[in-house]
Amino acid sequence: RLAPHTHPTTENATVISGTGAQGLGDKLDEAMMQAVTTGGFASLPAETPHSFVSKTASTIQLHGVGPFGISYVNPADDPRKK
């Protein structure tokens, strides 16, 4: 589960296996999330607030032009600071 966050560059994501769900906005609302299944692809412009939840065991490939980073909308959600 990734709390709402942004990236400084375009994020491209392909679901290699499993099922996830992606939502837009600065709040995680699973009811409004869209399923992304095996083979699914999503591309989000830089600085777009979004979240992701794995619904099953999943392998996700992230790709794009770097440098890549992640900034959480709510800094308290950042697991690197726990």
Sign of CA dihedral 74, 26, 14, 36: positive
Phi, psi of 21 (to 5 degrees): -140, 135
Sheet holding 11-17, edge to edge: 41-44, 11-17, 59-63
Number of CB atoms found within 10 A of residue 51's CB: 24
- Evaluate if pTM is beyond 0.75: yes
pLDDT by residue (tens digit) across 15-50?
999 999 999 999 999 999 999 999 999 999 999 999
Share of the chain above pLDDT 90, in %: 95
